[in-house]
A and B are shown apart, each in its own frame.
Chain A
Amino acid sequence: MLLKSTKRILASAVLAIGLSPAALHAQELTGTLAKISEAGEIVIGHRESSVPFAYLNDNQEPVGYSIDLCMKVVEEVEKTIGKEIDIRYVPVNPKTRIALMANGTIDLECGSTTNNLTRQQQVEYLPTTFVTGTKILTRKDSGISSVSDLDGKAIALAQGTTNERAIKAAVEDLDLDVKILPVRDHAEGMLSLETDRVDAYSTDHILLHGLIAKSKTPEDFAVVGEFLSFDPYALMVPRNDSAFELVGKTALANVFRSGEIDEIYAKWFDPLGVPADPLLKAAFQLGALPE
C-alpha cells in the first residue's frame, strides 16, 4: 500500500519534471485562452474607418495604433499558450462591437472604444491606451464654433457612440433646435458632411483629425468647440475572464514600461500632428505595472 502510493508520487514527479513550463500552462488554460489554443486562432474585431486607431489601408488590411497594440497582446497570448496562432479579422462597428464581444464571436476588439461603466456590465477593458473627448467637425465657412452655434443646423452622429449621447445631452441642456441625422460609421458621417447634407459631424476629436487628414480637401474642414465628454479608449476583452485579461494587461504593461509605446504612438499620431497629452502619458505610466 505504502509502496504503491510512493510509486504514484514518484511517477507524477517524473511527469512534472519532464513537462515544459509552456505545456504545463496549456493544461491550465480556461475560457478565452483555452478557446484560442484549441482553435489555433484568435478572432480580432476591428474598425474600418477609425483613423489612426484601426482602419483599412489601401490594400484593405486593418492597420493602426490599436491594431499594433493588439499585435503585442497576440504575441503575449502565443507566449502563454506556447504555440503560434493565426489571426482572423472581423470588422465591427459601434453597433455590433459590444454584442459580438458578449456573445463570444470576437476575442479582442481593437478600435476606438470608450471604456465606460455601463459597457462594463457586458464587456471588460484593458488599461487605457488613449484619452480623448467629443468635439465638432465642420466646414471652416459654416460659422459654427461651438455647440450652441448648432441651433437650426443639421449634424450627423454615428449611432451607438458615446459622442452621440454627449451631443444630444448638450443640445437638450441648451434647448437648441438641431436636426440629427443618424449615420452608421465615420465614413458615412464624413460623406454626409462632404455632400453638404449636414453642417457638422461629431465624434472624438482625434478621430475628427483623422477624418480631415483622409479627406480630399483637408483645408475646408476644422475641428471646433470645447470637449463635451471624457473618452478614455481601451482594448475590449470578454467579461469574467481574468486569465485572458491578465495576458492582455501584461502585454500592455511591457509595452508601456519599455517605452515601446512612444514609438508606436509616434508612428500613428505624428503624421496627424497630435502630440501625446500629459494625461495620456500619465495613463501609460500607471499602466506600466512591474513584473
Chain B
Amino acid sequence: MNYNWNWSVLFEPEYFGWLISGLGWTISVALCAWVIALVVGSLIGVGRTLPNKFLSKICTAYVELFRNIPLLVQMFIWYFAVPEMVPEDAGRWMKREMPQPEFVTAVVALGLYTASRVAEQVRAGIETVPQGLRSAAISQGMSIAQVYRYILLPISFRLIVPPMTSEFLTVFKNSSLALTIGLLELTAQSQQIAEYTFQSFEAYTAATVIYVLIALCATVIMSLLERQTRIPGYSGKES
C-alpha cells in the first residue's frame, strides 16, 4: 500500500474542531431521536397489547411499516419526498425556513424508525408479565387504564431495560446515516477531514475510536440503570 501516514492532522485545531462539532451533532441527533423513540415507541407498544382490535391493528401497521423499510430510504423519503407531497407553502417552509432542516429531518426519521423497534420491546415486556396478574387486577375491579398504570407498565418497563440497552447503542450508530442528507455529524466530519487532508485512514480511525467510546459510555450508564431497576426474582442473574 502506497500511503503516507500522518496522525498529527487529527490534532490540528481546524480538523480537531470538526471532529468535536461532529461529535456534538451525533450526540444531539441520537438523544433527540431517542426521546421521540421512547415516547412514540411506548405508546405504540402499549397500543399493540390493548384489547381494542382497531387500535392494536393500527399500531401493528406502524411497526411493520417503519421497521421493514430501510432507515436510509426513510431518511431520503422524509428529506426529499415529504416536502413535495405536502401543500406547496408547507413544503417550501420545510425546505427553506425550517430551522436546521437536516437536523430536524434526521431526528424525525431516526426517532420514528427507532420507535418501531422500541414498541416491539415494550410489547414483549408487557406480554412477559404473567397473565394471572392481569386477571387478578381486573377481578379486583381495576379498569384497563389502572391495570396498565399500576400492574403491567411498572413491571414491564423494568423488565425491558437490558434489551433497550442495545436499542440505545443502535440509535447512536444509526445517526451516522444523517450524513446522507447533509448533516455534518461525526462520520461526515471525518469524511471531510479525509477530503481536505487525504489522510482518510487516520480520519476514519478517529471516528471509529470516538464511536467505541460513545458506546462504552452508553453501556456503562445503561448497566447502572439495569442494576437499579432490576426486579429481584425476574431477571436471570440473582445476587
**What range describes how many residues of A lie at the interface?**
20 to 34
* Given A122-B3, A182-B188, A239-B2, CB of A99 within 8 Å of CB of B201: yes
Nearest CB of B to A114, in Å? 12
**Residues in A whose Cβ lies below 8 Å from that of B198:** 98, 102, 118-119, 121-122
Q: Is B4 an interface residue (CB 8 A)?
A: yes
Chain B nearest Cβ from A256, distance in angstroms:
27
In the complex, identify which listed stretch (A9-17, A142-150, A189-197, A282-290) lies at the interface while the others stay far away.
Answer: A189-197
Q: Which residue of A lies closest to B6 (CB)?
A: A121
Q: Is B83 an interface residue (CB 8 A)?
A: yes
CB of A182 within 8 A of CB of B95, answer no
User: Contact partner of A98 among B1, B83, B84, B200, CB < 8 A?
Assistant: B200
B96 proximity list for chain A (CB < 8 A): 154, 197
A138 to B171, CA, bound (A): 37
Contact call A160/B2, Cβ cutoff below 8 A: no
Q: A94-B195, A99-B201, A154-B96 are in contact. Are A195 and B83 (CB under 8 A)?
A: yes
Is there contact, CB below 8 Å, between B195 and A160?
yes
- Interfacial chain B residues near A164, Cβ < 8 Å: 195
- The distance from the CB of B155 to the nearest CB of chain A, in whole angstroms, is 46
Q: B3: which of A94, A102, A165 is its contact (CB, 8 Å)?
A: A102
A103, B191: Cβ atoms under 8 Å? no
The residue in chain B whose Cβ has the minimal distance to the Cβ of A241 is B2
Instruction: Scan residues 92-110 of chain B and give those whose CB is less than 8 A from a CB of chain A.
Output: 92, 95-96, 102
Q: What is the CB-to-nearest-CB distance from A251 to chain B, in angstroms, rounded to a whole number?
A: 21
Any chain B CB within 8 A of the CB of A45? Answer: no
B35-62 interface (Cβ within 8 A of A): none
Q: Which of A95, A118, A195 contacts B194 (CB 8 A)?
A: A95
The total of interchain contacts (Cβ-Cβ below 8 angstroms) comes to 61
Q: Mark B163-196, 1 if CB is under 8 A from A, else 0.
A: 0000000000000000010101000100110111
Q: Quick check: A183 and B1 within 8 Å, CB to CB?
A: no
Contacts of A257 in B (CB 8 A): none
Most buried by B among A95, A98, A121, A182: A182
> Contacts of B201 on A, CB cut-off 8 Å?
99, 103
Contact string against A for B residues 72-104, beta-carbon threshold 8 Å, 1 for contact and 0 otherwise: 000000001001100000001001100000100
The 9 closest A-B pairs by CB, nearest first: A160-B195, A99-B200, A239-B2, A197-B95, A122-B198, A182-B182, A181-B182, A240-B2, A102-B3
Q: Given the interface contacts A182-B184, A183-B182, A195-B80, does A95 sit within 8 Å of B1 by beta carbon?
A: no
Q: Which residues of B contact A196 (CB under 8 A)?
A: 92, 95
Could you give, for residues 100-129 of chain A, a 1 whenever the CB lies within 8 Å of some chain B CB and a 0 otherwise?
A: 001110000000000000110110000000
Bound CA span A53–B184, Å: 29
Give every chain A residue within 8 A of B184 (Cβ-Cβ): 182
Interface 0/1 of B111-123, CB less than 8 Å to A = 0000000000000
B2 cross-chain contacts in A, Cβ below 8 A: 102, 104, 122, 238-241
- Provide 17 A-B residue pairs closer than 8 Å at the C-beta atoms, listed in order of the A residue: A95-B195, A102-B1, A119-B198, A122-B2, A122-B198, A160-B192, A160-B194, A160-B195, A164-B195, A181-B102, A181-B182, A182-B184, A182-B188, A195-B83, A195-B95, A196-B95, A197-B95
Give min CB distance, B178 to chain A, whole Å. Answer: 11
Interface status of A72 (Cβ within 8 A of chain B): no
Docked pose: A196 CA to B95 CA in angstroms: 8
Apart from A102-B1, A183-B182: 8 A-B pairs, beta carbons within 8 A: A95-B194, A159-B192, A160-B192, A195-B80, A195-B83, A196-B92, A197-B95, A240-B2
A residues 236-258 near B (Cβ < 8 Å) are 238-241
Residue of A nearest to B200 (CB): A99
Minimum CB distance partner of A98 in chain B: B198
Asked if A281 is at the interface of the complex by the 8 Å CB criterion, the answer is no
Query: CA A93 – CA B131 in complex, angstroms?
Result: 56
| Nearest A residue to B101, CB-CB | A197
In the bound assembly, the distance between CA atoms of A104 and B2 in angstroms comes to 8
Residues of A within 8 A of B95 (CB): 195-197
CA distance A238 to B2 in the complex (A): 8
Interface core residue of B2, B188, B196 (most chain A CB under 10 Å): B2
Q: Which residue of B lies closest to A154 (CB)?
A: B96
Residues of A within 8 A of B195 (CB): 94-95, 159-160, 164
Contacts of B194 in A (CB 8 A): 95, 98-99, 160
Shortest CB-to-CB span from B22 to chain A, Å, is: 12
Q: Output the least CB separation between A121 and chain B (Å).
A: 6
A107 to B117, CA, bound (A): 43
**Nearest CB on B from A125, distance (A):** 14
A104: contacting residue among B1, B84, B200, CB under 8 A: B1
- In the complex, A184→B181 CA distance in Å? 9
| Residues of A contacting B4 in the complex (Cβ-Cβ under 8 angstroms) | 121-122
Complex Cα spacing A108 to B166, Å: 42
From the candidates B84, B180, B196, name the one contacting A195 in the complex (CB within 8 A). Answer: B84
